[in-house]
Amino acid sequence: ETGVTQSPTHLIKTRGQQVTLRCSSQSGHNTVSWYQQALGQGPQFIFQYYREEENGRGNFPPRFSGLQFPNYSSELNVNALELDDSALYLCASSTAGQGMNTEAFFGQGTRLTVV
Part in contact with other proteins (CB under 8 A); list of ranges 18-26, 47-55, 67-75, 76-84: 47-55
Nearer to other proteins, 66 or 107 (CB): 107
Nearer to other proteins, 13 or 111 (CB): 111
Q: List the one residue from 1, 2, 42, 84 that touches other proteins (CB under 8 A).
A: 42
Q: How many CA atoms lie within 13 A of 95 on its CB side?
A: 9
If one counts every other C-beta atom within 10 angstroms of the C-beta of residue 40, the result is 5
Q: Is 24 left (phi over 0), alpha (psi -120 to 50) or beta?
A: beta
Name residues whose C-beta falls within 8 Å of residue 56's C-beta, 6 or more positions apart in sequence.
45, 47, 48
Nearer to other proteins, 87 or 104 (CB): 104
Q: List the one residue from 26, 31, 68, 74 that touches other proteins (CB under 8 A).
A: 31
